[in-house]
Amino acid sequence: DAKTTQPTSMDCAEGRAANLPCNHSTISGNEYVYWYRQIHSQGPQYIIHGLKNNETNEMASLIITEDRKSSTLILPHATLRDTAVYYCWAGGTSYGKLTFGQGTILTVHP
């Protein structure tokens, strides 16, 4: 698994886009980038993943740089319910074994 680096915390106004960066400069060619989030006192929730192309689903968009050394998770219209810890993970060799870093605490303000 590649080492990931994320900012400790970020703030966002409700209704605005939240852009959460993740650095994974040691990612190898067959490793995917995954994003999860954990709302307080709940189990983590899968958000999105990608290999090299940008991805979008009903929850978020994932932008991966061309060199794949970093990515950005975009919540297009953040709501108060999006306040959570967001984890970025890059890996491909350990079946299902996710190792979580400290993540980014996103606080969405009214």
Partner 1 sequence: GAVVSQHPSRVICKSGTSVKIECRSLDFQATTMFWYRQFPKQSLMLMATSNEGSKATYEQGVEKDKFLINHASLTLSTLTVTSAHPEDSSFYICSASPSASGWGEQFFGPGTRLTVL
Residues 42-71 close enough to bind partner 1 by CB under 8 A? 42-46, 49
The candidate with the shortest Cα–Cα distance to 14, out of 83, 86, 84, is 83
Distance (Å, rounded) from C-alpha 61 to C-alpha 54? 7
7 sits near partner 1 (criterion: CB under 8 A): no
The Cα diameter of the chain in Å comes to 41
Under a CB-based contact definition with an 8 Å cutoff, are residues 109 and 14 in contact?
yes
Residues 75-94 close enough to bind partner 1 by CB under 8 A? 85, 87, 89, 91-92
* Residue from the set 34, 70, 104, 108 that interacts with partner 1 by CB under 8 A: 34
Work out how close the CB of 77 gets to partner 1 at its nearest, in angstroms, rounded to a whole number.
21
Work out how close the CB of 2 gets to partner 1 at its nearest, in angstroms, rounded to a whole number.
13
The candidate with the shortest Cα–Cα distance to 83, out of 22, 39, 21, is 39
Work out how close the CB of 16 gets to partner 1 at its nearest, in angstroms, rounded to a whole number.
27
